[in-house]
Amino acid sequence: MLVVGCSPASDAPPSAVDPGTSAAAPPIAQRPTTVGIADSDLLGLPEDRVVKAVGLMKQMGVTTVRLLIPWAAIQRTPDSYDWTMVDKTVDAVVAQRMSILATLNSPPQWAVVPGQPAITGRPASPAAFGSFAGRVAEHFHGKVSAYEIWNEPNGAAFFAPAPDPAGYTELLKAAYPSIKAADPSAVVVAAGLGSVVDYSTLTMDPVNFVSTMYASGAKDFFDALAFHPYQYTMKFTESAHPDAPINQLSGMRQLMLANGDAQKKIWATEYGEPSSELGEAAQAEFLDDMLGKWRNLPYAGPVYVYTMRDRNSQSRAPDDTLGIFRSDGTAKPAERVVTSYFGMRGSRLDGASPAPR
């Protein structure tokens, strides 16, 4: 779920951001007790609001942030690059000494397969995507610690016209060496697969997707695998249904073991629960259930909570209410739960006063 345009909760005072002097962000600890925030809505906000939002994350105890690096915003034409919008967000995070997982997707119109729209269409040329990935890794060398190659490519919503694990693997094969050439220390994370089932040409079960990735030669072109174990009416630990996220996670892990990838971790690069689905108390329970289970999985890597702030707390649309803060800036019960996993107690916001807008 990477959509740009919402303002995150912010209560921290702004601090100066100097991209020229900001120290490099630390590497991301590949362990299941690493809990970060996934917040694509930072992108495109005015710099002062980005700085305030990132400052609040730091105060809460966040050490790592997942950001969107949209191809369409940077390389609008094949021969031009504009880093302005992304630079201010990356530099704000780096200034707070937090590490960054950058998700590369959202292609420009010139780069998608014919007949498909920008942003959601799949790239027509793996080589063009690989070149872009290398330029990003070069530009953000020392600032971005890890790169996630695409968001939920097992769904047509992000890989139109239809999921194609063999085609996706070609993107990995192009991006991996380009990123490593520019920044050998960068971690390349595959996929960010959604927890879905096989449904026509719209979605593909992540276990089947990973199986075809391996059959297509993906093994040597990623350092970790990513999964988004969302299920809005089922807690992460519930396993009665065969397509439950925890069962899909186990299935992907078995494929990794069978293909000699036991040393690679599975990262949860998005997990959240919309409060519009079952209520705010249930949202907190779902997050506590998932974070508590995840930290005890021996093959798990970092987990990123999606997201900081609701787009519209009055909406019934799930995508609008995934925040741990309401859209007016006040904290939900989920904020206290998530903050406890950062190793800190409680919130910088007391839930009574809205954050400055």
Written as one string, the DSSP assignment of 119-157 is TTBPBS-HHHHHHHHHHHHHHTTTT--EEEE-S-TTBTT
Give the residue among 13, 17, 34 at the shortest CA–CA distance from 97. Answer: 17
Helical spans, DSSP H, in the chain? 47-60, 71-74, 84-95, 126-139, 165-182, 206-215, 245-258, 275-278, 280-294, 333-341
For 253, 287, 290, 342, the CA distances from 297, given in Å and listed in that order, are: 11, 16, 11, 18
Map out the domains of the chain with their CATH numbers: 35-341 (3.20.20.80)
| pLDDT per residue of the chain (357 residues) written in tens, 0 to 9 | 544 333 333 333 333 334 443 445 579 999 999 999 999 899 978 999 999 999 999 999 999 999 999 999 999 999 999 999 999 999 999 999 999 999 999 999 999 999 999 999 999 999 999 999 999 999 999 999 999 999 999 999 999 999 999 999 999 999 999 999 999 999 999 989 999 999 999 999 999 999 999 999 999 999 999 999 999 999 999 999 999 999 999 999 999 999 999 999 999 999 999 999 999 999 999 999 999 999 999 999 999 999 999 999 999 999 999 999 999 999 999 999 999 999 643 443 333 333 332
**pLDDT for position 45:** 87
**pLDDT for position 332:** 98
**pLDDT for position 3:** 40
Cα dihedral across residues 210, 211, 212, 213: positive or negative: positive
**pLDDT for position 1:** 57
Which DSSP helix (H) or strand (E) runs through 303? strand 300-306
pTM for this entry: 0.90
